[in-house]
Structure 1
Amino acid sequence: KIARALRPGGKLLLDIRNARAPRKTTTSWMKLCNGYLVMADRYDAEHKREHGDCLFIDASGNVNVLTGALRRATSRLYTLPEMKAMLRDARLRYLHAYCGFQVPPKELIPSYRRNIVVVAQK
């Protein structure tokens, strides 16, 4: 579907988690809307999936269990070779891979633990 949305010569930029360095099990939180969002993540190595559960603690200290898609998130992690194969199957040409969030972008380092930024072209 993405390939159909791109004009000929159009570029695609994907920022994905690095499947070679998943978060095993973590709990984190962030301040949000006068309360706190608490997230517990775990990694399913067999299926290369990260699963996360969320709840919200409001300013009064009430714990609000979120429902549906807000409560539970899951995402499949892909390696760079898997991404290249998917791009090829979608008739997109792989151009380059970077890592991190720096500008200008940093060349992909195999040991980098956070993300992979993939650039492709139609």
Structure 2
Amino acid sequence: MSCTNCKGVSAVNLKNTVTHGWDWWAYQFRVVHRRGIEGIDFWDDRLISFILRVLDLKPGERLLDLACGSGVHARRLARRGIEVVGLDIAPSLVRYCTEQAAAEGLDNVTFVEGDMRALPFHETFDALVVLSTSFGFFDDETNQRVLEGIARALKPDGRLLLQLSDPHTFVERQKARCYWQERPEGIYWTEAWFDPVTCVSHGVFRFTDNEGVTHLWDDHERVRLYTLPELRLMFDRAGLEISDVYGDILLPPVPYGPDWHQEMIVVGRRVQEDDR
């Protein structure tokens, strides 16, 4: 369900509220809300097949799933024989991921708490993925530092994949500034907008549970949407090189361009010193 103005969101009963930090919301969105998305298992399987194909992953290779969320993709990759480390800033997600991996008997996937702005790895991974538009949370200088940390974490010639929103398609799809979704656990209220001056998308979230309690976030989401020319410059500064760009997770892969830009999936590698 959606509404074209913000009256529906502002009319939420705010007398009975609880305000949470990101750790609570991370679990609510990445685990609870995600479970109810129709067709999510099919989408996840398709994404994993795409990743394996375009990164040419082989059993035994080491991969970092940066901002791993619920860990569903890390676990699926581990089942294919990849040695996976999933990193997320939310302790609630790291605990959940660890429990799920143990329940599935996976011993080739590890989940750790960490901040993508300060990655502790040096030439550790054959490949790295950032999925579900989890790049761009910070200002331009900090986002650049994230890419530089990614380059350090990769082995020379290591591969990476960023799954990003195409800015034009993102704006085109944003028909309603405010909308709500009814789920078995309650109602999710969202106010979202795109600022063309800064190229930043914003999202304010509320959740009303079945007991009538409205849960608020003590902040709001901001994601910088980059164009491909901007990303090429950022990759170059970080010691990375873009090799391919795709417009979706379809197989066979479809190149990103005027005829297909449902999303922007950037595939690249760490440049060896001799190549620079």
Q: Tell me the CA shift for residue 30 of structure 1.
A: 4.2
Name the aligned partner's letter for residue 214 of structure 2: N
CA distance, structure 2, for counterparts of residue 16 and residue 84 of structure 1: 14
More strand by share: 1
CA distance, structure 1, for counterparts of residue 260 and residue 177 of structure 2: 18
Q: Unpaired segments of 5 or more residues in structure 1?
A: none
Name the aligned partner's letter for residue 255 of structure 2: E
Partner in structure 2 of residue 6 of structure 1: 154
More helix by share: 2
Q: Please give the secondary structure, in 1, of the residue aligned with 2:157.
A: coil
Partner in structure 2 of residue 68 of structure 1: 218
Q: C-alpha offsets along residues 77-101 of structure 1, whole Å, 9 cap, x if unaligned?
A: 0000001110011011110100123
Name the aligned partner's letter for residue 167 of structure 2: A
Larger Cα-atom Rg:
2
Partner in structure 2 of residue 39 of structure 1: 190
TM-score (norm 2): 0.39
CA distance, structure 2, for counterparts of residue 8 and residue 30 of structure 1: 45
User: Which structure exhibits the higher relative contact order, with contacts defined as CA atoms closer than 8 Å and separated by 6 or more residues?
Assistant: 1
CA distance, structure 2, for counterparts of residue 118 and residue 33 of structure 1: 36
Name the aligned partner's letter for residue 27 of structure 1: C
Q: Could you say what the CA RMSD is over the residues aligned between the two structures, in angstroms?
A: 2.1
Count matched residues: 119
Q: C-alpha offsets along residues 26-75 of structure 1, whole Å, 9 cap, x if unaligned?
A: 33444556112222210100000000010002123x25141224xx1010
TM-score (norm 1): 0.83
Name the aligned partner's letter for residue 224 of structure 2: R
Q: Unpaired segments of 5 or more residues in structure 2?
A: 1-148, 271-276
Q: Percent identity between the aligned chains?
A: 29
